[in-house]
Chains A and B, each alone.
Chain A
Amino acid sequence: MSFFDDFPSLSRRDLMELRRTIDNGFRDFSREYGEALENFFNPLLQFLIWLEKLMITAPWPIIILVIALFAWMGSRSKVIVIGSALCFLAIGYLGMWKDTMSTLAIISAATLICIGIGIPIGILMSRSDRIQGIITPILDVMQTIPSFVYLIPVVMLLGIGKVPGLLAVCIYALPPIVRLTNLGIRLVDREVLEAADAFGANTLQRLFGVQMPLALPNIFAGVNQTIMMALSMVVIASMIGVKGLGIPVLQAVSNQYLALGLMNGLAIVALAIIFDRVTQRLGKRLQKHQGLDH
């Protein structure tokens, strides 16, 4: 009856052998291609360094003005603009300005990358059920696999620094924008699409004239989610060498500095709320044609 008592597993030795093979295989791969990959990502690194430097060296009143301007363009709400400005003033006053700028830089870069990659993938998914069937499980994995697990190969390949941090953030933050772009396009009313076809619209006219505009509220919900998820990765990214608000939080955890952890944590929350409100308002304004019943 030992068959039922002990799960029929590989022997210890075989298991170790298997793991070692995989480890060695990947190590060889990273030795072989690590440098090439680093060179490939070098422009990205330069961009990140440039962006961070720009945001840190720019005079703080200008940064606050720019943020207020963005908030106004997105939300058209005085409350949100004033709230954002006050938040940043408080952050600066409490000595977190530099870290906040670093975080802002990497979040902006990650969001841009996710939009740039995610929307085309979402469009592709919406056009074919087969592609959707292939990509959906990949997105599921990206969203649910514990981030520490994919930090290992990322660090093995690219070492510690901004680029692997950015990559880790993107892996986690990409799925919502892909999903919601796909969903948004698929939800466009069939008769409206038929109308576009009946008037002789070609594929691009149909995509950019009808599908994308009508999917925009959903796509914006995706952008919003992507930003939120990127922000939630800030602390984890700081473990592999991304500067910003995550580093003091890590210090606070290991040294039991309650106030330091709280202040930096709240700064992340403040960023999240500002981004969330601005993008949500923008999304709502983009669908001004809906819900305008007489």
Chain B
Amino acid sequence: MTESFISIRHLYKIFGRDPEGAMNRVRKGMEKDELLELTGHVLGLSDINLEMEQNKVQVVMGLSGSGKSTLIRLLNRLIEPTSGEVLIDGADVLAMDAKELRELRRHKMSMVFQRFGLFPHRTIIENTGYGLEIQGINQVEIKKRATRWIERVGLSGYENYYPAQLSGGMQQRVGLARALTTDAEILLMDEAFSALDPLIRTEMQDILLDLQEELKKTIVFITHDLDEALRIGDNIAILRDGEIIQTDNPQNILMKPVDTYVADFMKDINRARVLRVHTLMKPLDTYANGPNMLSSTTLEQALQVFAEQSTSQTIIVNGNGEKIGKLTLDDLIFGMKRPTIEEIKEDLGSTSFSDSIDTATSSIN
């Protein structure tokens, strides 16, 4: 694995009057519920460990109240962590003084907000250039760079409008353009598309994926929408009640959910559209034959090929055309099946989840 670009180590966030005191209790092993009951402190995030690779999209997924919006704000210290370590490109964020922190926010990381966070009194171009203005760059340069990004997100002609004159989707394009204009390497996106209509949301995801292909930013993307997570994430961390319960790539999360909670999430997902044939392929053997198929093909597309070519086997090839495996129709059908509780248990090799399984069984089987 490549060197991680952002590392979060043993990160805690406790809300309340005396977080330090509460932290000591947590260190001694006090649980979340007990802490709330005894001291009135909320353990917002507990022992978060996450390594993020450079130029990749790290999704943090969780339901409301799971602490995901808190987590992303700990990265640029919009919220102060209670304990732990955040390293960005080797620099310890928590050790920074106010000035260093401002420099980090100005040049290294920018942010996109759920409700856009645009400045209502500034025009689109003034909003887009805000980050540069804060850095003290001259107006001519700001205008040049802001115009370029407004154009890039498809809002040319709206430069002198105010945010209130634009639709939600257009406003978030401004939010995105504003974040990109500072040329920060890291993009923090806090439920950036959650407030948008489904159609617009898909459109924005396309814009983001399109931009990412070219820009190769390191993106931390918060969402409560698994479809979105699977679509844009190179890696997904699932957050529940302030703890990360699984971190893996989308394929593995679908194939090997770590417990019934995660499995429950997956049940409405169209697996054929997310899973790719390389996840299901078997090693090549001498009997392998059939048409070649790219390893990144989705099961849905693969099914189409099987049907059109009326074959029962394909050879999987990678981007360089090398044969790397085979896929039979049976494998493909098997891959469509959701893992059962028994299989999840087997993978885990433990029975510690027995109590939660009862509740989840009905919804999964």
What are the interface flags for B102-139 relative to A under an 8 Å C-beta threshold, 1 for contact and 0 otherwise? 11111100110111111111100000001101110000
Contact across chains for B113 and A210 when beta carbons are under 8 A apart: no
Q: Is the CB of B164 within 8 A of A201?
A: no
Considering the chains assembled together, what is the distance between the CA atoms of A264 and B277 in angstroms? 91
Which residues of chain A are near B162, meaning CB under 8 Å? 289, 292
Q: Does A290 lie within 8 Å of B117, measured CB to CB? A: no
A189 CA to B103 CA, complexed, in Å: 24
The reply to whether A198 and B164 contact each other, CB–CB distance below 8 Å, is no
Q: Which residues of chain B (1-50) have a CB below 8 Å from chain A?
A: none
A192–B134 touching, CB < 8 Å: no
In the complex, the answer to whether B78 meets A199 with C-beta atoms within 8 Å is no
Query: Which residues of chain B come closer than 8 Å to A209, judged between CB atoms?
Result: 133-134
Taking a contact as CB atoms under 8 Å apart, the answer to whether B106 and A192 are in contact is: no
When C-beta atoms are compared, the residue in chain B nearest to A289 turns out to be: B162
Contact B134 A199, beta carbon cutoff 8 Å: yes
Q: A199-B131, A200-B135, A289-B164 are in contact. Are A214 and B106 (CB under 8 A)?
A: no
A293 and B170 CA atoms in complex are apart in Å by 13
**A130 on the B face (CB < 8 A):** no
By beta carbon, the residue of chain B nearest A193 is B117
List A contacts of B76 (CB < 8 A): 198
Partner of A214, one of B78, B101, B121: B121
A290-B78 contact given A191-B115, A199-B182, CB 8 Å threshold: no
Binary contact readout A252-294 vs B (1 if CB under 8 angstroms, 0 otherwise):
0000000000000000000000000000000000010111111
B202 within 8 A of A: no
* Number of A-B residue pairs with CB-CB distance less than 8 Å in the complex they form: 80
Q: In the complex the two chains form, what is the Cα distance from A293 to B135 in whole Å? A: 31
CB distance from B107 to the nearest CB of A (A): 8
Minimum distance in angstroms from B43 CB to a CB of chain A: 23
Q: How far is the CB of B117 from chain A (nearest CB, A)?
A: 4
Whether, in the assembled complex, A21 has its beta carbon less than 8 Å from a beta carbon of chain B, the answer is: no
Which chain A residues border B178 with CB–CB below 8 Å?
199
| B103 contacts A200, C-beta separation under 8 Å | yes
B165, A195: Cβ atoms closer than 8 Å: no
Give the complex CA separation of A199 and B118 in angstroms. Answer: 12
Judge if A205 is at the interface, Cβ distance under 8 Å: yes
Asked whether, in the complex, the Cβ of A289 is within 8 Å of the Cβ of B78, the reply is no
Complex: A192 Cα to B78 Cα, angstroms = 13
The reply to whether A210 and B105 contact each other, CB–CB distance below 8 Å, is no
Q: A201 to chain B: which residues have CB within 8 Å?
A: 102, 134
- Of A198, A289, A290, A291, which is in contact with the most chain B CB atoms at under 10 Å from its CB? A198
In Å, the complex CA distance between A228 and B110 comes to: 45
A250 to nearest B CB, angstroms? 46
Those 9 A-B pairs whose CB atoms lie nearest each other, nearest first: A200-B106, A195-B117, A200-B105, A198-B111, A289-B162, A200-B102, A191-B117, A199-B131, A213-B121
Q: Report 19 cross-chain contacts, Cβ distance below 8 Å, ordered by A residue.
A: A191-B114, A195-B118, A198-B78, A198-B117, A199-B106, A199-B111, A200-B104, A200-B131, A202-B102, A205-B134, A209-B133, A209-B134, A214-B119, A289-B121, A289-B162, A289-B164, A290-B120, A290-B164, A292-B164
Known: A198-B188, A199-B111, A199-B131. 8 other contacts (CB 8 A): A195-B130, A198-B76, A198-B117, A200-B103, A287-B121, A290-B120, A290-B164, A293-B164
Q: Which A residues form the contact surface with B (CB < 8 A)?
A: 189, 191-192, 194-202, 205, 209-210, 213-214, 287, 289-294
Chain B residues within 8 Å of A, Cβ to Cβ: 76, 78, 101-107, 110-111, 113-122, 130-131, 133-135, 162-167, 178, 182, 188
